Structure 1
Amino acid sequence: MIEVNARLLRSVVYVAGDCVDCLVTFKNTATESNHEQNRNCLKKSSAIENLAWASAQIHCHCAVDEAKVLFPKSPSQEQIATGSTDTSFIPCRGEKGHVVFSSKPKILFCDLCLMPGESKTFVYKEMIPTSVPPSYKGQAVRYAYKITIGAQKVNALTKLLRIPIKVFVVKDLTEVLKRRLAKSVPHNPFLPQASKQSVLEIAFDYLEDLTSRRRPNYYNITHQNGKVVRFCLLKSSFRLGEDIVGTFDFAEATIPCVQYSVTLQSEEEVLGESSANGESRVTTLGYCKQHEFCLHLRTTHLALPVPVHITPSFRSDIVELRWKLHFEFVVTTTPVPLPAARTPSGNWHAPELLEVQTMVWDLPISLYPTHPSHVANAIKAPSQGTLYLC
């Protein structure tokens, strides 16, 4: 029996434009007869194992809700395959949906012979282009990436080993890479060249510059009868895992605010040309929320954590994902007397009945990826897989 083990050298999280490195090891387990699962297979094969071929490929699979999304009709890989689907290398065999990206298959070897206990290791390298959509699990559209390794023993069926990976897309990264490349060309050929930065380093230098700038923006929230609160957001661009920080100033309010809530929400819009009814469809989903009773407060603050596992803002051919802060303010037109100055703490009683109104306000924000290692540590997805060929 042949044991096929694939292991990613880094983690399962990558940035579009980065390179994926995967070690693929093929081992003849004939000497490991103490494993119960191997004994039956060993009876059917000789001690020397022969593999016809092995190949590897990355693909992005798109699954849609057909009641909401019209996906262009295209033949599947199983229909394109000219030979038997049992012996052809079809990475998406058995999966429903559409392939929106697939790298060129790379042959790891042909006609490999392994003696008992012998193993061979191959390195599979592939760059993810910057033009692909990110990994995304939405309500109407889902994008999923997998590394698929196919192998076939002589006179046997093809078997597949799949390792899911997560891909982030950095907006405008292609232009950033072009500018960095132009700057890296030395004007004097006799000067030593500076060390070359990786795509990942360039991408996160760019993201650090985008998301570290603090430009406070102030918003006056008003009711038809007067001013409710002044809100300050320190910046409008955030990375996954950051805190969205802001302040509420009620000092100059003329309308009492009893309670507020802030929710981080995503807006998934199926674009008109891809919508089942021909019109854009927007689905809103909340992720994290902060609420507070703020009657008689002069100031308070917002600290809303951005989850690490979500997908940053992006746009593809069929869907666009946006992010916003959804505010709800509960205000009252009933005068609420302040506690007396000499009233002991804890003895003031709130009114039993208040006439209230709810105000709603949405503030768009931009979310960007964070470093892949941070996301990998949070999601703890396996970075290797094993397949047995009997």
Structure 2
Amino acid sequence: MIDATAFLTRGTAFLAGETIECAITFSCPEATGSGQPECLAWASAQLHCQCNVKESKVIIPPQPITRRPSEEWENIQSSSNTSFAASRGEKGVCILLTQPKILFCDLKMKPGETKTIIYSETIPRDAPPSYRGQDVKYSYKVTIGVQRIGSPIKLIKVPFRLMVLYGLDEATIFEGANHTDAANPFLEGDRPKNTLLDRAVQILTTITSRKSPNSYNITNTQGAVAKFCLFKPAFKLGEDIIGTIDFSDASVACLQYSVVLQCEEQISEECRRRQQQTSTTVASHSKHQEFCLHLRHSHMVLPIPLHVTPAFITDIVCLRWRLHFEFTTSKEPIPEHGIPSDQSESAIWQGPDNVSVDTLVWNLPIKILPINPLHATSYSAWKATNLVSV
């Protein structure tokens, strides 16, 4: 018996376009019987992405988004039930499948011997991100197939998370960046080029650190309700969305307000099971609610969960993010609180028993971007390793 262990060397989170590395260790335990060498026929590895949909609402297009291996390898797979198929046993449809890489053929190991092989693969940049929505799901795995002669194939599957950062190849993003990297004057030659991860971190820092506050006047049919200020329009996973609400110039009394961080999952028209069905599904994540009568200023803080998926678009689904506001306003003026002329006296304000109210709903689109994959790995609950005995 030989134990095969697969381990992702850099964790379980990656950006599209990065190279993923998986260390596969084969170990032969100390002999308990004859002590003869153990032999494995072959081992191969692949990356694949499974797409699961709610079949009552979504149809997966058969051709446009499917990335298949070469026709020669596809014919080999279809000709034998014992061939290596990375997505075998998985639910849904395999929409991305890299070329299989053979790790070894005819591996012989003595008792107590250990051998480690590194499998590396570049993740396609046009791959969809990992996503667990209500109608559509994308999931990624590294699958290693190992077989003994005359025995069925054993599969080792290690899941990982993929995030997508759009505009990674656009140089214009760096024009407004403040490059403060210190160069070593004692090193000869040009400075080494940044890796894809370095460029991604720089882009994320540049976009999410821009101090360009935006103000919005919120009004209804009766007049001004409030003024909302958002300090920046783009945020990374794990950040807090901070905004202020000013009621000082309001002509309509606001009794309370709530702000909810929501994502909109919209199925494309070509993939809807029925054209009359609702194409958009809304999911709420974090909420801030406050009573604001007689307040002049208020603020809200909404944390962005680390496990959610930033905005993206594929042939099947489009995901967007927004802030959903609900203001409860009074239809009639609220009686003012009487302040006594003598400071030594006190007064208690009694609010009205019944108030006729209106509800003002407002949605503000925002941008949510990925986080550094190294940080996402530290908060991930996924295991970066898996073991199987062959």
Assess same fold via TM > 0.5: yes
Distance 1:312 1:236 in 2: 14
Match of 1:381 in 2: 382
Match of 1:36 in 2: none
- The answer on whether the counterparts of 1:130 and 1:173 sit within 8 Å (CA) in structure 2 is no
TM-aligned CA deviation for residue 18 of structure 1: 0.9
- The answer on whether the counterparts of 2:12 and 2:380 sit within 8 Å (CA) in structure 1 is no
- Please, what TM-score do these two structures have when normalized by structure 1? 0.89
TM-aligned CA deviation for residue 116 of structure 1: 0.5
2:280 alignment partner, one of 275, 282, 290: 282
Describe the shift of the 1:308–1:212 C-alpha distance in structure 2 as closer, same or farther (beyond 3 A).
same
Match of 1:66 in 2: 55
Distance 1:304 1:289 in 2: 7
- The answer on whether the counterparts of 1:219 and 1:231 sit within 8 Å (CA) in structure 2 is yes
**What percent identity do the matched residue pairs reach?**
43
Distance 1:30 1:135 in 2: 41
Taking only aligned residues, the RMSD between alpha carbons, in angstroms, comes to 2.4
- The answer on whether the counterparts of 1:241 and 1:305 sit within 8 Å (CA) in structure 2 is yes
369-378 or 245-254, which moves further after superposition? 369-378
Distance 1:336 1:177 in 2: 53
Distance 1:141 1:158 in 2: 30
For each residue in 1:131-179, what CA deviation from the matched residue of structure 2 results, as whole angstroms up to 9, or x when unmatched?
A: 1100001111110000001100122110101000000000121334999
Give ranges in structure 1 of 5+ residues lacking alignment: 34-41, 181-190
Distance 1:177 1:248 in 2: 34
Pairing of 1:343-358 with structure 2 (within 5 A):
347-358=348-359
Distance 1:130 1:313 in 2: 16
TM-aligned CA deviation for residue 339 of structure 1: 2.6
Name the SS for the 1:96 alignment partner: coil
- The answer on whether the counterparts of 2:3 and 2:28 sit within 8 Å (CA) in structure 1 is yes
Asked if residue 102 in structure 1 is aligned to residue 102 in structure 2, the reply is no
- Please, what TM-score do these two structures have when normalized by structure 2? 0.89
TM-aligned CA deviation for residue 54 of structure 1: 0.6
Distance 1:331 1:178 in 2: 42
Describe the shift of the 1:289–1:208 C-alpha distance in structure 2 as closer, same or farther (beyond 3 A).
same
Pairing of 1:1-390 with structure 2 (within 5 A):
1-31=1-31, 47-73=36-62, 81-85=77-81, 87-176=82-171, 192-278=189-275, 281-342=279-340, 347-389=348-390
TM-aligned CA deviation for residue 372 of structure 1: 1.2
Aligned length: 367
Distance 1:174 1:61 in 2: 26
Give ranges in structure 2 of 5+ residues lacking alignment: 176-187
For each residue in 1:153-206, what CA deviation from the matched residue of structure 2 results, as whole angstroms up to 9, or x when unmatched?
A: 1221101010000000001213349999xxxxxxxxxx8121121111111101
TM-aligned CA deviation for residue 68 of structure 1: 1.2
For each residue in 1:65-110, what CA deviation from the matched residue of structure 2 results, as whole angstroms up to 9, or x when unmatched?
A: 111111134799999623432x211011111211111111111110
Name the SS for the 1:362 alignment partner: strand
Describe the shift of the 1:346–1:366 C-alpha distance in structure 2 as closer, same or farther (beyond 3 A).
farther
- The answer on whether the counterparts of 2:174 and 2:203 sit within 8 Å (CA) in structure 1 is no
327-336 or 253-262, which moves further after superposition? 327-336
